[in-house]
């Protein structure tokens, strides 16, 4: 199957990279068996960004490959080594690309400016290592947080040509010949209908005014309802600042004349909508044909009576083209002069209000009376914390419980009537379900705080033995006890020497 050279609408699947997992590690070194936690953080996943490239005119690159995934972040390692971040992907799109969500149809952005860009899929955040989770009350965490998954979504890219003048008319009216005659564009020209299958752009210079002209494929009656090629290309007229009707005054088709052609095309533009405010000109083409010149003289007054300027032209001989160029340039200048100046970019910082923790989540009580009661917890923080938790590690599950309690989830569940054993689901369709087990205050002795290593709190045996020896040595010095010749002496050495000499 041949790949088309021009594509103006594609559906693209984009996915950000997953964040790397944090590392749970304990520093180990000679003479330092308990060096403390040293697990590094996981790297963030890469994001997918759309950026406008003025050199592009088609979306064909995404027609060939419609899935784009950014790379994942690397996991953290021991010895305080953080994982590297995933590499971002920058996708270049033509100016005038409209980005919308494929599922909801919501328009995400209109990339009509040259420096526009949009992040369409954010990478997941990397998980924290146990070194970052350590604190004064949790000195030796035996767990780390998992990295989050990257955002995945399907988007629709729709190209709408950005031009100052749009040429509209029936097939074979001479639109391609006109743009080839007034610019350096070289579209396909032939003597059969629908020769132009893709929009063509050309740059025209008229005096000091430089503007772009778009040649849109031919329209027929019913184009706004899907007939012909009009449904696919009418949207390219939306960007144009002005419209020029190119009317064939030498057609041999029965029932066609310049006035009826003008009425049909205007009806299709009106049915498409959004083009009522565009200024218009009428170019009556093919005046090099004798019968056409006579026809132009007959209909010119009727067209001008509608408030439209008429320019008889011939794309074959070049007659009337200069006048048409300057007429289009005048429309462009008037349009640009009437446009309001762009508002200066202002950076406004709006700090988020500090709200009660209970506003960070919602709890809904559901149940049919037969399958039991379940409480569903929804909220950005609780759901993110669940995704970060390694449920194979009891200490990590306990850390999740502590975080939920500090957020106020348990208190609200108790207020809503939850009792021990009730099902609690955190999340949506992929929710994690727990059995509610409230933490009750009791007089039981707490043996150790979660996240603490008793060996770090107490005294090691080797340290205790060394300190005992040091204490005994200092006590011996204070009592002036010495070891001499393998026997114990309580008197000074000098006295022992005197007694031996007397003997």
Quick one: 228 and 154 in the same domain?
Answer: no
Residue 197 marked ligand-binding: yes
Q: What is the pLDDT of residues 231-261, one digit of tens each?
A: 455 666 777 888 888 888 887 777 778 888 8
Q: What is the pLDDT of residues 422-447, one digit of tens each?
A: 888 998 888 888 888 876 443 333 34
Domain boundary among 98, 128, 159: 159
- What pLDDT, on a 0 to 100 scale, did the predictor assign at position 205? 86
CB 34 within 8 A of CB 456: yes
The Cα 38–Cα 25 span in angstroms is 6
Residue 444 domain-assigned (yes or no): no
282 token code pair: 């009428």
- What pLDDT, on a 0 to 100 scale, did the predictor assign at position 73? 95
- What pLDDT, on a 0 to 100 scale, did the predictor assign at position 220? 52
Residue 463 marked ligand-binding: no
Quick one: 255 and 142 in the same domain?
Answer: no
Q: Is the pLDDT of residue 193 over 60?
A: no
Q: What is the pLDDT of residues 325-366, one digit of tens each?
A: 999 998 888 887 887 776 565 556 666 555 555 567 899 988
Q: Is the pLDDT of residue 262 over 70?
A: yes
Residue 287 marked ligand-binding: yes
Quick one: 173 and 317 in the same domain?
Answer: yes
- What pLDDT, on a 0 to 100 scale, did the predictor assign at position 160? 77
Residue 171 marked ligand-binding: yes
Residue 73 marked ligand-binding: no
Question: Which of 169, 197, 163 shows the shortest CA–CA distance to 183?
Answer: 163
- What pLDDT, on a 0 to 100 scale, did the predictor assign at position 132? 92
Domain boundary among 116, 133, 159: 159
Residue 469 marked ligand-binding: no
Q: What is the mean pLDDT of residues 297-305?
A: 88
The Cα 235–Cα 139 span in angstroms is 63
Residue 402 marked ligand-binding: no
- What pLDDT, on a 0 to 100 scale, did the predictor assign at position 81? 94
CB 4 within 8 A of CB 63: yes
Quick one: 74 and 17 in the same domain?
Answer: yes
Residue 198 marked ligand-binding: yes
Summary mean pLDDT of the chain: 79
Residue 215 marked ligand-binding: yes
Residue 174 marked ligand-binding: yes
Q: What is the pLDDT of residues 450-466, one digit of tens each?
A: 555 555 555 667 777 88
Q: What is the mean pLDDT of residues 112-117?
A: 82
Q: Which position has the higher pLDDT, 50 or 190?
A: 50
Q: What is the mean pLDDT of residues 252-280?
A: 81
Residue 248 marked ligand-binding: no
Residue 452 domain-assigned (yes or no): no
Residue 195 marked ligand-binding: yes
The Cα 112–Cα 93 span in angstroms is 10
Long-range contacts of 297-305 (CB under 8 A, 24+ apart): 299/257, 299/258, 299/259, 302/259, 303/258, 303/259, 303/262
Q: Is the pLDDT of residue 218 over 60?
A: no
CB 106 within 8 A of CB 155: no
Residue 169 marked ligand-binding: yes
32 token code pair: 């330092």
The Cα 424–Cα 382 span in angstroms is 12
Residue 316 marked ligand-binding: yes
Cα separation values, 436 from 147, 385, 446, Å = 26, 17, 21
Q: What is the mean pLDDT of residues 409-431?
A: 86
The DSSP output letter for 240 is -
Quick one: 146 and 277 in the same domain?
Answer: no
Cα separation values, 16 from 47, 108, 119, 427, Å = 5, 17, 10, 21
Quick one: 409 and 464 in the same domain?
Answer: no
Q: What is the mean pLDDT of residues 142-168?
A: 88
The Cα 181–Cα 204 span in angstroms is 10
Quick one: 58 and 142 in the same domain?
Answer: yes
Considering the chain, what percentage of its residues have pLDDT values greater than 90? 21
Domain boundary among 133, 159, 185: 159
CB 201 within 8 A of CB 161: yes
Q: Is the pLDDT of residue 128 over 90?
A: yes
Residue 344 domain-assigned (yes or no): no
Residue 217 marked ligand-binding: yes
Residue 212 marked ligand-binding: no
Residue 173 marked ligand-binding: yes
Q: What is the mean pLDDT of residues 209-221?
A: 73
Which CATH number goes with the domain that contains 125? 2.70.210.12
Q: Is the pLDDT of residue 96 over 70?
A: yes
> pLDDT-based confidence at 217, cuts 50/70/90?
low
Residue 347 domain-assigned (yes or no): no
- What pLDDT, on a 0 to 100 scale, did the predictor assign at position 385? 92
Residue 159 marked ligand-binding: no
Quick one: 230 and 199 in the same domain?
Answer: yes
Residue 307 marked ligand-binding: no
Residue 43 domain-assigned (yes or no): yes
Rounded to 5, what percent of the chain is helix, strand, coil? Answer: 30, 20, 50
Quick one: 184 and 209 in the same domain?
Answer: yes
- What pLDDT, on a 0 to 100 scale, did the predictor assign at position 418? 85
> pLDDT-based confidence at 12, cuts 50/70/90?
very high
Residue 346 domain-assigned (yes or no): no
Quick one: 316 and 260 in the same domain?
Answer: yes
Q: Is the pLDDT of residue 225 over 90?
A: no
Question: Which of 357, 370, 366 shows the shortest CA–CA distance to 431?
Answer: 366
Which CATH number goes with the domain that contains 394? 3.30.300.350
Quick one: 277 and 140 in the same domain?
Answer: no
Least confident window among 85-94, 260-269, 374-383, 455-464? 455-464
Q: What is the mean pLDDT of residues 13-34?
A: 88
Q: What HEC string does 48-99 produce?
A: EEEEECCCCCCCHHHHHCCEEECCCCCCCECCCECCCCCCCEEEEECCCEEE
Residue 440 domain-assigned (yes or no): no
Residue 476 domain-assigned (yes or no): yes
Question: How many domains does the chain fold into?
Answer: 4
Residue 433's beta-bridge partner residues?
425
Quick one: 43 and 84 in the same domain?
Answer: yes
Question: Residue 78 belongs to what domain range?
Answer: 1-159
Residue 143 marked ligand-binding: no
The Cα 153–Cα 12 span in angstroms is 9
- The burial class, CB within 10 Å (0-12 / 13-18 / 19+), for 358 is middle
Question: Which of 317, 260, 314, 307 shows the shortest CA–CA distance to 281?
Answer: 307
The Cα 179–Cα 188 span in angstroms is 11
């Amino acid at each position: 199957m041949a790949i088309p050279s021009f594509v103006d609408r594609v559906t693209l699947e984009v996915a950000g990279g997953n964040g790397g997992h944090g590392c749970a590690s304990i520093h180990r070194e000679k003479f330092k068996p308990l060096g403390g936690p040293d697990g590094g953080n996981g790297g963030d996943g890469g994001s997918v960004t759309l950026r406008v490239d003025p050199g592009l005119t088609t979306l064909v690159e995404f027609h060939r490959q419609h899935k784009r995934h950014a790379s994942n972040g690397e996991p953290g390692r021991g010895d305080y080594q953080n994982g590297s971040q995933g590499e971002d992907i920058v996708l270049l799109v033509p100016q005038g690309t409209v980005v919308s969500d494929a599922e909801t149809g919501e328009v995400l952005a209109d990339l009509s400016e040259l420096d526009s860009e949009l992040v369409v899929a954010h990478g997941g955040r990397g998980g924290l290592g146990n070194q970052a989770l350590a604190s004064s009350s949790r000195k030796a965490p035996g767990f780390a947080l998992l990295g989050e998954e990257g955002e995945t979504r399907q988007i629709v890219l729709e190209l709408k040509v950005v031009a100052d003048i749009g040429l509209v008319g029936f097939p074979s009216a001479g639109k391609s010949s006109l743009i080839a005659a007034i610019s350096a564009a070289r579209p396909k020209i032939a003597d059969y209908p629908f020769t132009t299958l893709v929009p063509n752009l050309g740059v025209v210079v008229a005096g000091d005014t430089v503007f772009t002209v778009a040649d849109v494929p031919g329209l027929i009656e019913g184009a706004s309802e899907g007939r012909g090629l009009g449904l696919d290309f009418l949207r390219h007229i939306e960007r144009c600042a002005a419209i020029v009707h190119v009317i064939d005054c030498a057609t041999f088709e029965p029932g066609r004349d310049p006035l009826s052609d003008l009425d049909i095309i205007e009806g299709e533009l009106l049915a498409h909508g959004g083009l009522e405010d565009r200024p218009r000109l009428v170019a009556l083409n093919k005046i090099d044909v004798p019968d056409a010149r006579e026809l132009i003289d007959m209909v010119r007054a009727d067209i001008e009576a509608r408030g439209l300027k008429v320019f008889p032209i011939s794309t074959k001989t070049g007659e009337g083209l200069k006048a048409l160029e300057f007429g289009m340039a005048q429309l462009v200048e008037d349009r640009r002069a009437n446009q309001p100046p762009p508002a200066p970019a202002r950076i406004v910082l709006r700090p988020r209000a500090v709200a009660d923790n209970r506003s960070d989540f919602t709890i809904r009580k559901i149940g049919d009376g037969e399958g039991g009661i379940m409480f569903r917890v929804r909220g950005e923080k609780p759901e993110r914390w669940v995704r970060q938790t390694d449920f194979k590690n009891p200490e990590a599950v306990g850390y999740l419980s502590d975080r939920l309690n500090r957020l106020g989830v348990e208190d609200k569940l108790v207020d809503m009537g939850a009792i021990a054993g009730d099902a609690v689901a955190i999340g949506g369709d992929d929710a994690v379900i727990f059995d509610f087990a409230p933490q009750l205050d009791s007089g039981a002795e707490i043996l150790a705080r979660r996240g603490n290593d008793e060996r770090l709190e107490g005294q090691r045996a080797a340290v205790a033995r060394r300190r005992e020896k040091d204490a005994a040595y200092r006590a011996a010095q204070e009592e002036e006890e010495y070891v001499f010749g393998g026997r114990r002496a309580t008197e000074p050495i000098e006295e022992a020497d005197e007694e031996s000499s007397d003997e």
